[in-house]
Amino acid sequence: MGVVVPLEDKPEERAGIERLVALVAPGMESVNRLILSRVGSDVAMIPEVANHLISSGGKRLRPMLTLACASLCGYAGNGDVKLAASVEFMHTATLLHDDVVDESDMRRGKLAARMLWGNEASVLVGDFLLGQAFKMMVEVGSLPALDVLATAAAVIAEGEVWQLSAAKNTATTEDDYLAVVRAKTAALFAAACEVGPIIAGRAKAEQAACRSYGTNLGIAFQLVDDALDYGGTSTKLGKNVGDDFREGKITLPVVLSFRRGSDEERAFWARTLEQGEIAEGDLDYAIAIMRRHKALEDTIERARHYGAMARDALALFPDGEMKRALLETVDFCIARAH
């Protein structure tokens, strides 16, 4: 006799993003066309720099979430496409500015734009994309959606400055670190999801539900990213493994390792991350310490916790293909770690 196993109970067995991709494919075609048309400019450097990043194969998870949440809420207009493109532009602008701030050499497996066109172009093309993002939002004409996205823009920048002030401080607590993640990553996921029910004219409860889904998915996503930075391969990640280590970023795997470690290990973290004195073999040693203290596994465990909250946030929506796709997306984000 067969036993019906509800999908929700064994989430990571079906951890694909394929259902989401398939369901939003027609909308994403419009989003991609819109993105290409809005990076156009008589100033040749703008589409060059923007396309370098835009065409480099990000998953475009954030705009997919906007389309999916709008659809989940029964939205039938075409404002979701412009908002989705705005969200992707905001994200791309953040990446361009981040690379300048972090002095990164690589992004998505390619040379960072700043290595090819200079910091100046990265700053200014980022500003251009932000401006275009706001123009598109205004065209949609929803003041509440504008409010959500403008607030996210301010919160993201605030979180980045916070991270800058907190950088290289091994005494960072898990709470401090989570506050940064909420601001710099989760705020845009939350806004991307929340504008869906807003333009669909749905009640506050649905808006809050989608916002909560986005916030918690965003946190889970970032925590997994932090773990991958110490546990993946360069090819798989599309970035250099150990980037966070070399940049002295205090992420959750470090916070946990530092707190659980010996005096000798703490001296190691202070030398490498605070003083930035990194020698041959230090990255391998950092990973060994993390494994010893189960810091990577527990970072993923924390991610799973936020993933569960994201899943529960959608409970008030009736079952259906789109809801199922959004639930599977949570599992996909966490399963990246394995």
CB nearer to its own copies: give 7 or 150.
Answer: 150
CB nearer to its own copies: give 71 or 251.
Answer: 251
Part of the chain binding its own copies (CB under 8 A), chosen from 52-60, 70-78, 119-127, 222-230: 119-127
Contacts for 320 with CB less than 8 Å, ≥ 6 apart: 72
Per CB under 8 A, contacts with its own copies among 178-237 are none
Pair 248, 274: CB distance under 8 Å: yes
When asked if residue 175 is in the footprint of its own copies (CB under 8 A), the reply is no
Pair 105, 234: CB distance under 8 Å: no
CB nearer to its own copies: give 191 or 300.
Answer: 191
For helices 187-199 and 79-102, what crossing angle results, to 10°? Answer: 170
Tokens standing for 324? 């199922």
When asked if residue 71 is in the footprint of its own copies (CB under 8 A), the reply is no
Q: What is the identity of the amino acid at 141?
A: G
Pair 89, 136: CB distance under 8 Å: yes
When asked if residue 116 is in the footprint of its own copies (CB under 8 A), the reply is no
Cross-strand pairs, 110 = 107
Compute the least distance from the CB of residue 171 to its own copies, in Å. 17
Compute the least distance from the CB of residue 276 to its own copies, in Å. 15
- Contact flags string 19-48 toward its own copies, x per CB under 8 A: ----------------------xxxxxx--
Q: Give DSSP secondary structure letters for 183-196.
A: IIIIHHHHHHHHHH
Q: In the set 66, 75, 128, 241, which binds its own copies (CB under 8 A)? A: 128
Per CB under 8 A, contacts with its own copies among 146-165 are 146-147, 150-158, 160-162, 164-165
When asked if residue 313 is in the footprint of its own copies (CB under 8 A), the reply is no
Positions in the binding site for its own copies (CB under 8 A)? 41-46, 97, 100-101, 119-121, 123-125, 127-128, 130-132, 134-135, 137-139, 141, 143, 146-147, 150-158, 160-162, 164-165
